[in-house]
Structure 1
Amino acid sequence: MEGVPGSSSEHECDSNSLHSEESKLRLKDAIKHLEQLLLENDLVAPESSGTISHEAMQIGQDLYKSTVEILGSKMFVETEELIMAESDDEEGQFEEIQDDDDSEQYMLPEKDKSMEYIPLDYKIKVVNMAKEHPKWTLKTLHKQGCSRLKSMKHLYRWEEDIKHGGTIIDKYSIINSWTYDRFVEARVNYQQVTTRNLQEWALSAASQFENFPFKASKPWVIKFKKQNRIKQRKITKYVTEKETATLEEILAAADIFRKQTQVLIPNFHKDFIINTDQTGCQYQSTFNRTLSTQRAKAVFVQHKSSNKISHSYTAQYAMTMSGKLLPLVFICLQEATGAFGSKVKKAVDEFVKIYQNVKVTSSKSGKLTTYLYTQFLKEVLSPYVKHEKFLLLIDSWGGQTNPALYDDIFQDDNNVGTCTIKVIPPKCTPLCQPCDVYFYRQVKNLIKRLQNCSFLIEQKREIASREDCIKIHAIVHHQLSAPIFENMLRYAWFASKLTDEREVFMNVNEVCFPLDILKKSCDCKNVTFIRCAHCRANYCFACFYDKYHPSTCTVPSTSTDE
């Protein structure tokens, strides 16, 4: 080590195991991976200058000292790990509450005092729990499963981490997860997916992180394909000239749209800045993955009807910038003749009377036409906005972009149009449409949870009928309309870069399906399936779905035993 800056004995590692060939090789791999990350994000040049400046030597010394300290504490940086130092000098709303007995002496075991990487999901869980129970002490939080919280003061730093989207490892994980989910959804619907699509989806996911230098580079997309076993296959379909826009052109168009929209936003109340979009839903949605033995060459899953998996219908939600859903959701079911028969029509009308937050229509394809979209405007949007002036963000589908369509429906008492429409440019919806960027991911997650729960598997039952489709969206709309999800809905606008406002929020999994509910029972003594987002009570599938819980849902509980 002679001649190496900072190599004094005070930095030498105490454990001989750290100097083994295996440890040296592991460190070399870590350095290679660090260089790869820096190259992917354009933070380092591909080649060195050939000379080392004084500033470069200082940086190198600091990096060396930090590395030796990490080795000395036997903490190795893996691909999924990041060493995080926590600050203890911040003050704010989280207060250290002392117990009457031994809280003052309560300390973490000595072995837990080393710096460690805390996953973003864990930080969200702890911060939200601390906010819900401001009088809980550190000791109480530990008993409730927050043992990795070393000091109440760390909550401020964790909250800032959450607002900024987490650490660099968290951000890469989120980008990869979002991109893969979009890929799977596209392939399930037999859509063509190109490398450029992966890059667009990744950039859309990365856009929620301010000043994060992610470029969806060629090295990143190669690694992403390899990790997820995605390969290019022979195609027989040719793309049109309209589909050949470059990534730079798409990003530029999205940026112009954002700037133009941000100028309009101050002219409207946030309750009347609305985004609406259609989303395709399968009659029977699946997770497309299942547990199986490692050596299984083929994996089969039984379903009563393959048509329910391949056929789809359309749901159209509308959400405001203030974090609210419009009171009704519009559903278009697929019917062979394009219209309901007399018996079916009578049954559907009865369903709508029971599930009062839905409007139902039909078409041959299960998709909306201009006529059906006009029906949506009249039956869903118009009763909400009434005569108020509002800003409506829509995508570039030709069936809804005619300004005259809105002028005929939305007028004030003087017959002056009240609707200002802003059309999102083609190919830009994954980047700047709130419904598409985040909201519909939560909708489909909740639907999959309902249609693939263990209770249905045990009963060899499926919920894929007309009534089930209507009932499912009535439940989804009811749950996502809960006040606890307002920050999540506002986040969709932030992730689209249409607003700078962002708050800590919980998603569907964290609110409705936390792991701790598995230890609790429904009032009927059956295993809990879901926690209601409104009343925060626990229910089994039969009590929640079959008995249609929203019809009896009460005022939110103030109980702390969740």
Structure 2
Amino acid sequence: MINPQNVMEILTNLFSNHLTLTSSPSNTRRDEEVAKMLFENVESILNSTSYSIENHHTLDHDADIELIDKEPNSKLNNDSDEFNDSDEFNDNDNLFNNDNLHDIDYNNEYDKENISQQQFSLEYMKQVVDFYDEKDKNTGKRKHSFHATQRRFKRVKYDIYISRFRQYIEAKGTKKQKLNQINSFVYESFENARQQLLSVHDIDLKRWGLQKAAELNDNTFVAGDSWITSFKKQHNIVSRKITKLVTKRDINNNYMINKSAEDFVADVQKILSDYHPDYILNTDQSGLQLEMFSNRTLSYQGEKLTLAAVRSINNTTHSYTVQPLISMSGSLVGPLFLCLKEESGRLGEYVKKNLFKPPNIVLTCSKSGKLTSSLVEYWRDHVFKPVIGKKKCLLLSDCWKAQGADEIYNTLTNIKRLEIPKKTTSIIQPLDVYFNRQYKVIARKLYDYVRLYNIDINLAQRNNIIMMNSLIYNQLSSKSFNRMIQYAWYKSGYLKTDPGTFNNVKQVCFKLVDNSCSVFNCNKTTFINCSWCEKSLCFVHFFVDFHIH
């Protein structure tokens, strides 16, 4: 027969001898619940005729081990040799840092998900396992416990990570890591093929993906259509029509061109600090047709032939030349050099008498409308020298023979001219890289507007050409385009620092802020926004009235 009084005294002694007791001013709800549970259990035992005690095990979070670790004298199992092999171990390490302790039935999928969410790299996992498996050279036993490994690699929370890491290393990474490796391999293969100008199709992406998956022993990767679509979207890859065929010789030449461009830019950058940005200059000739037209138009979807009307087909095949000068500081320098196309190659006295003469144009002419060596000398004397004076200047210009003659610059001792290598101007000449296209935007807008609204003005006529180019040059001389011009230098590789956000010609001049002209009592539709005064101007008040600043 069990005596309740004896049980209570023995239980009290056990509490006093084995637990640290502290008093509190009042009983908590939890205290009352535990006491009630103990009472009910003892009462059940006292009222029963027989009883037995059974131990049950359950799955729980790995954090419960922290409670066990507080009992340094516990013996959970005898298979502790794996950890009792190094002087680095302390008592706590001996008991609870072995693989057998964690042979409890973990939910494997939860562990995999938990570990993969940490985004461990394959290299990191190898470092952890190599450190954990390191052997003592003298004893041949493991040097580091799990606690030592955990102290070294803070992101390793539980020793189940070690076994998972082993699995991932053997499998050459997690599923996500393998997919990343596959994607990287496929993209590198794609880039290599396109750099050689080779054709690539969806099936080639699939082949590369499956090839890499086989190397990684990934039998789950199938390179399906959804993966192809996602891959192309991620890397901005689309199917494009081939517009030109080249040979391997052309590819090799392209490599040499790019190499020549890179070397030239690198050489220029070495001496840029010797010059003020206002006097680091680039000049280039640009041809404009006597009648310009847009290459694109809104039209009907599905039409087989899209046509555009011009006033003279002949004028679209003949051109004149403009030669601007821009600085690295982002400004247009001096007046615009304009070479007209004249059948006789010169301007007669009557023509000169009636010429429109704006202040920002230096005018000349030739039979072809293109420059000659003598006209380059004329540009040097009437445009370049007056604006440079005695300033130390660096001039970049292309390798056109007439422009590169030594005698043109021999007398300019304060000028250092560097010749941009042949066939590289499209990638390293600032004017070609960005500025010239912006110049032609305004010109095309003028021609399109005159045709669309049937304005009785012939823009191919001599004075109208002069007036138009004077207005365009004046608009681009505004501070609104300083960053745009600097960007041309940056994109060419000479400026190392991005000049920042800027607005191009369309954004500044052809964004219709007001639909009506800003001039008093003018109700005509806006043609352009002035980059200087920001007024909205109709065609008449911009072109006919010659709106210049």
TM interval, shorter chain, is: 0.5 to 0.7
Match of 1:500 in 2: 496
Match of 1:40 in 2: 190
Give 1:402's aligned amino acid. A
- TM-aligned CA distance change 1:259 to 1:78, over 3 Å: closer
2:398 maps to 1:395: yes
Residues 130-149 of structure 1: pairs in structure 2 closer than 5 A: none
8 Å CA contact 1:455–1:541 kept in 2: the answer is no
In 2, the alpha carbon distance for the partners of 1:312 and 1:450 equals 16
Cα deviation, 1:479-530, whole Å, max 9, x if unaligned, reads: 111111101000000000011121211100111111x426454331211111
- TM-aligned CA distance change 1:50 to 1:487, over 3 Å: same
Match of 1:543 in 2: 541
Deviation at 1:267, TM superposition (A): 0.6
In 2, the alpha carbon distance for the partners of 1:434 and 1:389 equals 20
Match of 2:364 in 1: 361
2:540 maps to 1:533: no
Deviation at 1:296, TM superposition (A): 4.7
Q: Which of the pair has more CA radius of gyration?
A: 2
In 2, the alpha carbon distance for the partners of 1:376 and 1:469 equals 19
Give 1:52's aligned amino acid. L
In 2, the alpha carbon distance for the partners of 1:36 and 1:313 equals 49
In 1, the alpha carbon distance for the partners of 2:258 and 2:244 equals 26
In 2, the alpha carbon distance for the partners of 1:282 and 1:455 equals 15
Cα deviation, 1:388-411, whole Å, max 9, x if unaligned, reads: 110000100111212332122x2x
Deviation at 1:462, TM superposition (A): 4.0
Match of 1:466 in 2: 462
Residue 512 of structure 1, aligned match among 509, 514, 529? 509
8 Å CA contact 1:429–1:436 kept in 2: the answer is yes
Residue 337 of structure 1, aligned match among 334, 344, 348? 344
In 2, the alpha carbon distance for the partners of 1:268 and 1:391 equals 7
Which structure ranks higher in relative contact order (CA pairs < 8 Å, sequence separation ≥ 6)?
1
Cα deviation, 1:355-374, whole Å, max 9, x if unaligned, reads: 11001111111100010011
- Percent sequence identity over matched residues? 30
Deviation at 1:442, TM superposition (A): 0.4
Secondary structure of the 2:294 match is coil
Match of 2:277 in 1: 270
In 1, the alpha carbon distance for the partners of 2:212 and 2:306 equals 50
Deviation at 1:341, TM superposition (A): 2.4
8 Å CA contact 1:403–1:421 kept in 2: the answer is no
In 2, the alpha carbon distance for the partners of 1:251 and 1:535 equals 42
Residue 376 of structure 1, aligned match among 376, 379, 399? 379
8 Å CA contact 1:517–1:529 kept in 2: the answer is no
Unaligned runs of 5+ in 1: 8-31, 69-75, 83-167, 173-219, 234-238, 411-416, 554-562
Give 1:513's aligned amino acid. F
Secondary structure of the 2:285 match is strand
- TM-aligned CA distance change 1:77 to 1:445, over 3 Å: farther
Match of 1:479 in 2: 475
Match of 2:447 in 1: 451
Secondary structure of the 1:374 match is helix
In 2, the alpha carbon distance for the partners of 1:78 and 1:543 equals 53
Give 2:426's aligned amino acid. P
Residue 247 of structure 1, aligned match among 249, 254, 260? 254
2:221 maps to 1:225: no
Match of 1:318 in 2: 325
Residue 52 of structure 1, aligned match among 216, 240, 257? 216
Does 449-458 or 394-403 show the bigger shift?
449-458
Question: RMSD of aligned C-alpha atoms?
Answer: 3.8
Deviation at 1:232, TM superposition (A): 6.1
2:415 maps to 1:419: yes
Give 1:369's aligned amino acid. T
Secondary structure of the 2:354 match is helix
Count of residue pairs the alignment pairs up: 354
In 2, the alpha carbon distance for the partners of 1:465 and 1:262 equals 43
Secondary structure of the 1:498 match is coil
Deviation at 1:324, TM superposition (A): 0.7
Secondary structure of the 2:241 match is helix
Deviation at 1:231, TM superposition (A): 6.1
- TM-aligned CA distance change 1:6 to 1:334, over 3 Å: farther
Give 1:478's aligned amino acid. N
